[in-house]
C-alpha cells in the first residue's frame, strides 16, 4: 500500500481494527489520505495487502506506508471506499498510526460504518463537541441516518420504549454469544439434567429437590441450609437480588393491621414506640403488585412486612400481611404462629418480592430504562461526542440482549409465562406502574434513593451490605464521570452551545406518548445549566447499567435455584387464615419439576458474567489523556 517501488522503507504503519460485528468486514477498495499539523497531506493510499485477506470481521491489520515521509504529526485522516463486493459496508473500530522513526502513535477511534462512495474525515482522538467540530455536515448526516436505524416505540401500552428493529451496530460479537435455547441444552447436558427436563408432576419431598444439584450447575448450599430461618429471610433484603425496597419505618401505616400487642414479644423488651424511635423497625410495602394479572394457577399478594433489627444487628421479620387492606380475611402473620404457617407466609412474601425483582429491579430499571438512554444517545449524539464515548461502553450488547430476552423469555408461552406467577401480562402491568413514578434524580441516584428510604445514614440498619458495597462504587463512578465532563465542558458557554446535548436531553425527558423516552427527574429545567446536572444524569446511567445490573442479575441462580428459598411461582391462593400447615402443603404449592428445572437452567445462564468489569472496557472509546487517566483511576479504585 502506497509503496510504489516495493523497496522504500515504511515511514508509518496503519494498524486498522475492523469491528467484531455481523457484516463488518469488506472486500471494497479503501483509500486514506493523511493530514499533518502543518497543513500538508499525503496522496491517496489504498489499504491493500497482496495475497492476504484484510479488513475482515474482528481483524487487526497492519498496513505499512512509505510515501508519508514529508508529514509531521498526523492530525486528520480521510477515508473513502468504492462499492466493490457483495456487502461493501465496513465497520471500523479504530486506526492507530505508528511513526516508524520515533514510534509515536496517533489514534483515530472511528466506531462507525463506512459506506461506499462517501467521504469521511476524522480528527486525531475524534472527540469533540459539535460546535467545535469542522465536520458538522458529516455529523448531521450520520445522525439523520441513525435516527432512522434507531426508531423506537413501547412493545406494549405503558412500557418503556424499545428499538423497533435491531440495527446491525447492536449485533453481538462472535466472542459474546447469548442464545438462551442453545445454552439451555448445553448446560442441561453438562449438568446431567437432560433426562430430567422431561419430568412432570410435583415434588414428593425436599430430598428429591436436593438431589438435583451437580457440581456443574452448582448447589445453592446456603439457601438449602438456611431458607427456613428468620435471619436468612431478613438477610435477603440486605444482600439478595432485590435490595431496593426496604425502608426505615417511622410509623405503622393505617392499612397494616399491626398492633403493639402483636409485635412487642419479638422486640427484645422494647415497646413498639421505643423500637420506632430507636430506628430499629423497617418496612416493605409492595402495593404496586395489587390487582396485577397473574397465571390462572396462582395468585400474587401485595404484602407489607415489618422487620426488626435485633441486638446482634441481624434483621428479622416480625409481622407479614399478604394483602394491602387489613381485615378478617387478611391476617397479620407472626413468628409465634404455627411454624409451617409462618414459613408459608414468608414464602408468599418472597414470591411477591421475586416478581418485583424480575419485573422491575432487573428488567425494568437495568434493562429497559437504560435501553431508552442508549437509544437517545445513538439518535442525538454523534460517535465523536464525548458523552457518547463516555456512555457507549456501558450499552454493550444491551439492546440486542433486550431484543432477544423479550422475544424468547417474555414471549407468549415463553419462560416468564411458564415459570413466574405473574406471567408476561402481569409483568407488563408491574413495569407500567413502576415507571410512572420513577425519577432519575431520586430512584436512579443511589444516595438520594437511600436518603428517601431513610437509609443513607450508615448508623441506621448496620449490615446493610448492599449500601456498604454500592455507595462507594457510586462515588467512584461519579468521580470518573466528573473528570471527563469537567474536562470537555470547561466553560458554561460550551454546555449552552452544545446542540447535540440539548437534543439528547429533550428526547430523554419528552413523554413517551409524544414520541420521547419519557424519563422523569432529569436534573435542571429543560436544559442542563451546570456540569453537576449532567454529571448526575450520566452517573445514574452508568451506575444502573453496571452496579445496579450486577446486583440484580449475577446472584440470580443462588436465590432462585432452590424453589422454596425465593419462589417465582406458587400454586394456589394467597392465604386468608392462619390454619396450621404441613410440609406436604408447602411441597404441593411449589413449582413443578419441569418448572423448577427451567428456572434453574435459565437463572444459571443469566447469572453468568458475559462482559468485562467496569473500567476494563471491551471496546475503548475515549483516548484523550484526561479520559484515559480517569478510566485507569476507576479500575484501580474498583480493585481497592
Residue 3: per-residue pLDDT: 43
With a cut of 60, say whether residue 338 has pLDDT above it: yes
Q: Which helix (H) or strand (E) holds 597?
A: helix 593-607
371: nearest Cα among 541, 173, 622? 541
With a cut of 90, say whether residue 639 has pLDDT above it: no
Residue 497: per-residue pLDDT: 97
Query: Which residue reads 437480588 in cell numbers?
Result: 241
CA angle 391, 396, 398 (to 5 degrees): 105
Contact 117, 99 (CB under 8 A): no
d(CA 532, CA 470): 21
CA angle 74, 76, 77 (to 5 degrees): 105
d(CA 436, CA 615): 32
Contact 267, 386 (CB under 8 A): no
DSSP one-letter string for 246-279: -EE-SS--TTS---HHHHGGGTTT--HHHHHHTT
Three-state SS string across 36-59, please? ECCCCECCCEECCCCCCCCCCCCC
Residue 211: pLDDT band with limits 50, 70, 90: confident
Radius of gyration of the chain (CA): 28
**C-alpha pair distances (Å), 256 with each of 285, 299, 332, 352, 500:** 10, 20, 8, 17, 50
Q: What are the CB-based long-range contacts (under 8 Å, 24+) for 162-166?
A: 162/368, 162/371, 162/399, 162/402, 162/403, 162/406, 163/371, 163/375, 163/399, 163/403, 166/399, 166/400, 166/403
CA angle 220, 226, 230 (to 5 degrees): 140
Residue 6: per-residue pLDDT: 45
What average pLDDT does range 84-104 have in this prediction?
A: 92
- Cβ contacts of residue 372 below 8 Å, gap of 6+? 152, 160, 161, 508, 517, 518, 519
d(CA 470, CA 548): 8
Residue 483: per-residue pLDDT: 96
Query: Tens digit of pLDDT for each residue in 455-478?
Result: 999 999 999 999 999 999 999 999
Q: Give me 457's grid cell.
A: 445514614
With a cut of 50, say whether residue 1 has pLDDT above it: no
Look at 42-46, 91-95, 173-177, 544-548 and tell me which has the smallest mean pLDDT.
173-177
Query: Which residue reads 435477603 in cell numbers?
Result: 236
**C-alpha pair distances (Å), 464 with each of 248, 454, 468:** 12, 12, 6
* Orientation angle between helical segments 499-509 and 369-380, nearest 10 degrees: 150
What average pLDDT does range 55-63 have in this prediction?
A: 91
Contact 258, 331 (CB under 8 A): no
Domains and CATH numbers, the chain: 12-126 (2.60.60.20), 152-165+355-556 (1.20.245.10)
Q: What is the pTM of this model?
A: 0.94
pLDDT above 70 covers a percentage of the chain that reads 93
With a cut of 90, say whether residue 607 has pLDDT above it: no
d(CA 631, CA 636): 9
Amino acid at each position: 500500500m502506497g509503496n510504489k517501488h516495493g523497496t522504500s522503507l515504511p515511514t508509518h504503519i496503519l494498524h486498522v481494527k475492523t469491528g467484531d460485528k455481523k457484516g463488518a468486514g469488506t472486500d471494497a477498495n479503501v483509500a486514506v489520505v493523511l493530514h499533518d499539523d502543518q497543513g500538508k497531506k499525503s496522496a491517496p493510499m489504498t489499504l491493500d495487502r497482496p495475497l492476504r485477506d484484510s479488513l475482515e470481521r474482528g481483524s487487526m491489520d497492519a498496513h505499512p506506508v512509505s510515501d508519508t515521509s514529508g508529514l509531521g504529526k498526523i492530525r486528520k485522516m480521510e477515508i473513502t471506499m468504492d462499492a466493490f463486493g457483495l456487502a461493501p459496508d465496513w465497520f471500523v473500530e479504530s486506526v492507530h498510526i505508528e511513526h516508524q522513526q520515533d514510534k509515536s502513535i496517533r489514534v483515530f477511534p472511528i466506531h462507525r460504518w463506512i459506506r461506499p462512495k462517501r467521504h469521511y474525515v476524522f480528527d486525531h482522538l475524534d472527540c469533540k463537541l459539535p460546535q467545535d467540530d469542522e465536520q458538522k455536515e458529516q455529523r448531521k448526516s450520520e445522525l439523520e441516518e441513525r435516527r432512522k436505524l434507531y426508531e423506537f416505540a413501547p412493545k406494549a401500552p405503558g412500557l418503556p420504549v424499545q428499538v423497533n428493529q435491531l440495527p446491525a451496530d447492536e449485533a453481538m460479537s462472535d466472542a459474546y454469544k447469548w442464545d438462551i435455547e442453545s445454552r439451555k441444552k448445553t448446560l442441561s447436558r453438562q449438568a446431567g439434567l437432560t433426562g430430567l427436563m422431561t419430568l412432570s408432576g410435583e415434588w414428593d419431598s425436599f430430598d428429591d429437590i436436593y438431589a438435583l444439584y451437580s457440581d456443574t450447575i452448582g448447589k445453592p448450599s446456603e439457601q438449602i441450609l438456611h431458607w427456613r430461618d428468620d435471619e436468612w429471610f431478613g438477610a435477603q433484603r440486605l444482600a439478595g437480588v432485590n435490595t431496593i425496597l426496604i425502608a426505615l419505618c417511622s410509623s405503622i401505616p393505617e392499612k397494616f393491621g399491626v398492633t403493639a400487642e402483636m409485635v412487642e414479644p419479638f422486640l427484645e423488651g422494647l415497646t413498639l414506640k421505643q423500637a420506632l424511635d430507636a430506628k430499629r423497625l423497617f418496612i416493605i410495602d409492595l402495593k404496586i403488585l395489587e390487582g396485577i394479572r397473574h397465571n390462572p394457577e396462582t395468585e400474587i399478594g401485595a404484602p407489607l412486612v415489618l422487620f426488626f433489627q435485633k441486638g446482634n444487628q441481624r434483621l428479622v421479620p416480625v409481622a407479614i400481611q399478604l394483602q394491602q387492606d387489613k381485615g378478617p380475611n387478611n391476617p397479620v402473620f407472626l413468628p409465634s404462629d404455627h411454624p409451617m404457617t409462618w414459613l408459608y407466609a414468608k414464602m408468599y412474601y418472597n414470591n411477591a418480592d421475586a416478581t418485583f425483582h424480575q419485573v422491575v429491579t432487573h428488567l425494568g430499571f437495568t434493562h429497559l430504562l437504560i435501553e431508552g438512554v442508549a437509544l437517545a444517545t445513538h439518535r442525538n449524539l454523534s460517535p465523536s461526542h464525548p458523552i457518547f464515548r463516555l456512555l457507549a461502553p456501558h450499552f454493550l450488547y444491551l439492546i440486542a440482549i433486550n431484543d432477544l430476552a423479550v422475544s424468547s423469555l417474555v414471549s407468549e408461552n415463553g419462560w416468564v409465562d411458564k415459570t413466574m406467577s405473574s406471567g408476561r401480562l402481569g409483568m407488563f402491568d408491574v413495569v407500567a406502574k413502576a415507571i410512572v413514578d420513577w425519577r432519575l434524580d431520586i430512584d436512579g441516584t443511589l444516595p438520594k434513593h437511600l436518603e428517601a428510604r431513610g437509609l443513607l445514614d450508615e448508623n441506621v440498619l448496620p449490615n446493610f451490605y448492599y449500601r456498604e458495597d454500592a455507595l462507594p462504587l457510586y462515588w467512584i463512578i461519579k468521580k470518573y464521570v466528573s473528570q471527563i465532563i469537567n474536562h470537555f465542558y470547561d466553560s458554561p458557554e460550551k454546555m449552552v452551545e452544545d446542540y447535540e446535548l440539548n437534543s439528547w436531553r429533550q428526547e430523554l425527558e419528552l413523554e413517551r406518548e409524544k414520541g420521547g423516552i419519557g424519563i422523569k427527574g432529569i436534573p435542571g429545567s429543560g436544559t442542563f445549566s451546570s456540569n453537576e446536572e449532567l454529571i448526575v444524569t450520566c452517573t445514574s446511567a452508568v451506575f444502573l447499567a453496571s452496579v445496579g445490573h450486577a446486583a440484580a442479575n449475577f446472584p440470580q441462580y443462588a436465590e432462585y435455584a432452590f424453589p422454596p428459598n425465593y419462589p417465582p411461582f406458587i400454586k394456589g391462593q394467597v392465604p386468608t387464615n392462619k390454619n396450621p400447615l404441613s410440609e406436604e402443603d408447602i411441597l404441593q404449592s411449589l413449582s413443578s419439576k419441569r418448572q423448577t428445572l427451567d428456572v434453574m437452567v435459565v437463572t444459571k445462564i443469566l447469572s453468568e458474567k458475559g462482559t468485562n468489569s467496569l473500567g476494563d472496557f471491551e471496546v475503548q472509546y475515549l483516548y484523550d489523556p484526561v479520559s484515559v487517566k480517569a478510566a485507569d483511576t476507576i479500575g484501580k479504585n474498583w480493585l481497592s
